[in-house]
Structure 1
Amino acid sequence: MNKATLFLTSLLLFGITACKENREAHITRLVQEWSGKEIQFPEHPVFTIQGKDTIEAPTDTLPYKIVVYVDSTGCMSCRLQLVRWKEMMATLDSLAAGKTSFLFYLCPKDLHEMQYILRRDAFRHPVCIDTTNAIQHLNHFPEEDNFQTFLVGKDNRVLAIGNPVHNPHVKDLYLSLISGKKISTQAPPATSVQLEKSEVELGTFSRKEEKTDSLRITNTGNHPLVIHDVVTDCGCLQAQFDKRPVSPGKDLLLRIVYRPDQTGYVNKTLRIYTNVEGGILTVRVKGKVE
């Protein structure tokens, strides 16, 4: 196992220390299995802009590719997180421009819903809507969401596995490998916080209505509070906040924005990566869309 693989394994295990040993062994096995493995691509993939305008496949001549596969299981918007992918692309463009292509292979249950999500999130990067699930038949990707995104080299062999928009530590790894620079979210000294609430209730509202709320986080410790990232489990849920460190005794206001993409009950999660013991604060967001 090479150094990058060892490092990635430790990142993927980070935060699941309460899990059983067999879960950790399973993750280690998957990372070992896919490290250096060649990704196979369909011979004639069709890429489109927002599921309509056909376009040439992204260039195959760049040193790196990030391959994103999303199957039809569960909530497509939740798993895609297109807004965060746009942020990831912008970060890479500023850090290591012209080195990485992004290949999105999507296998949705509902094409119209997929087109709606692409339009809603103003995502204009080419995607392959793989209605026959051809890329999965060729590769037999793992079932877990966290193991369906890959950083591959020019020879299409896997350099790293993990979803950088779901885990800031995996994001740091991808950025480090692509840029050749050490990128690390170094945690400052730990502090303590008081959450105004651990559950945000949005109430009942229309599908056409954008719902907002806020969450106050008070730094009750002796060191500055630093929010490294806020990760949601749905592209329809976003968090906005001031990224400057929060002094002891001061507050941070986290603004929560929910843009519904379907009716029904809302039960989402915000994971706040910060310098508290354990590294993560978890907040539930609930409501009902009619």
Structure 2
Amino acid sequence: MKLFVTFSLVFFMCFCANVKETEIITLLQNWEGHEITFHDNHVFTILGKDTIAFPFQDGYKILTYVDSVGCIGCKLQLTEWKEYIMEMDSLFDNSIQFLFFFSPEKKVDIIRALLLSHFDYPVCIDEQDSLNKLNDFPTEMAFHTFLLDKSNKIIAIGNPIHNPKIKELYLKIIQGGEVKPDNRKLIVQTEVSVDKYTISLGHFDWQEKQKASFVLKNIGKSLLVIQDVNASCGCTEVTYSKEPIQPGGSVVLDVSYKAETPGSFNKTITVYCNANSSPIVLRITGNADGC
């Protein structure tokens, strides 16, 4: 199964809002069937303490790479990965191997995140960023996770933790199911307006939880159904009504943010729905001040 054929069927559902469609198509064409290269001396560790032997399996692998740019904790999403690994292990009897390559600016940041999340799956703390240097990964974080076949060739790109459609796609490929043409056009679409795409929370004490609200209005002629809402960081929570929204109606997304440490932040909330503009990317920014 070719990457471009597989992924182009669903890329409208998952691409980063900062990337143009033509750029995505070019990227997919360049990475179609590309074989990921690994060093023989990659070292894996558990909780940043003990190094272990971690031979690569011959079956499907899910590789995720995290660079040092931005909030490491937001990118890792370790709790969500733990749940996903457990789910896949139960479905495929531990036959899917997960390859985590983290390239932090400071190793201690990764170790702290591993300990806080009790993430005891083997990871490679790649301080020299050697995997990226070998393969020259795309710059966009949305394209730093890959489904590999037994030959380490890419058969799909996208993060199943951040995007339920990618999760669904990976599952279908691994199960050997047919990836059919994009059925978005068969789903009744509607139109959505957003009261604001970015909310600044200004300056506040980093120990105080902050709240904000986004309003999505159904300005189309069909029901609006929110399929999923993903926050870019575990420190951001979103609540909303799961009921379909009638034409002319609105839904409020209540966002709460609790900083883990002082500092400025820029967090995204991605809304997946049956709107032509989906996914809708919302953003909260601000400065969590220390003492």
For normalisation by structure 1, the TM-score amounts to 0.78
Q: Deviations over 1:48-70 (max 9, x none)?
A: 2332343442x633621111112
Q: How far apart are the structure 1 equivalents of 2:148 and 2:165?
A: 18
Q: Deviations over 1:65-114 (max 9, x none)?
A: 11111222333233333344334334434544423111111110012222
Query: In terms of mean alpha carbon deviation, does 231-240 or 187-196 score higher?
Result: 187-196
Is 1:64–2:63 an aligned residue pair? Answer: no
3-state SS, counterpart of residue 77 of structure 1: helix
Return 5+ residue gaps in structure 1 as ranges: none
Q: How far apart are the structure 1 equivalents of 2:195 and 2:10?
A: 29
Percent identity for Structure 1 against Structure 2: 36
Q: CA deviation at 1:132?
A: 2.0
For normalisation by structure 2, the TM-score amounts to 0.78
Task: Report if the CA contact (8 A) 2:14-2:165 is conserved.
Answer: no
Corresponding residue for residue 143 of structure 1: 139
3-state SS, counterpart of residue 171 of structure 1: helix
3-state SS, counterpart of residue 100 of structure 2: strand
Corresponding residue for residue 45 of structure 1: 42
Q: How far apart are the structure 1 equivalents of 2:222 and 2:98?
A: 39
Task: Report if the CA contact (8 A) 1:62-1:99 is conserved.
Answer: no
Query: In terms of mean alpha carbon deviation, does 265-274 or 211-220 score higher?
Result: 211-220
State which of 155, 172, 179 in structure 1 corresponds to 2:175: 179
Return 5+ residue gaps in structure 2 as ranges: none
Task: Report if the CA contact (8 A) 1:214-1:253 is conserved.
Answer: yes
3-state SS, counterpart of residue 131 of structure 1: coil
3-state SS, counterpart of residue 108 of structure 1: coil
Report matched runs for 1:153-172 at 5 Å.
153-172=149-168
Corresponding residue for residue 8 of structure 1: 7
Corresponding residue for residue 269 of structure 1: 268
Report the CA distance shift for 1:182/1:210 in structure 2 as closer, same or farther (over 3 A).
farther
Q: CA deviation at 1:223?
A: 4.4
Task: Report if the CA contact (8 A) 2:2-2:155 is conserved.
Answer: no
Corresponding residue for residue 27 of structure 2: 30
Report matched runs for 1:182-261 at 5 Å.
188-192=187-191, 198-215=197-214, 217=216, 223-241=222-240, 244-248=242-246, 252=251, 254-261=253-260
Q: How far apart are the structure 2 equivalents of 1:212 and 1:52?
A: 38
Q: Deviations over 1:102-135 (max 9, x none)?
A: 1111110012222233334443322110112222
Report the CA distance shift for 1:213/1:143 in structure 2 as closer, same or farther (over 3 A).
closer
Alignment coverage as a number of residue pairs: 285
Q: CA deviation at 1:267?
A: 2.7
Q: CA deviation at 1:275?
A: 1.3
Q: How far apart are the structure 2 equivalents of 1:122 and 1:213?
A: 30
Q: How far apart are the structure 2 equivalents of 1:183 and 1:241?
A: 31
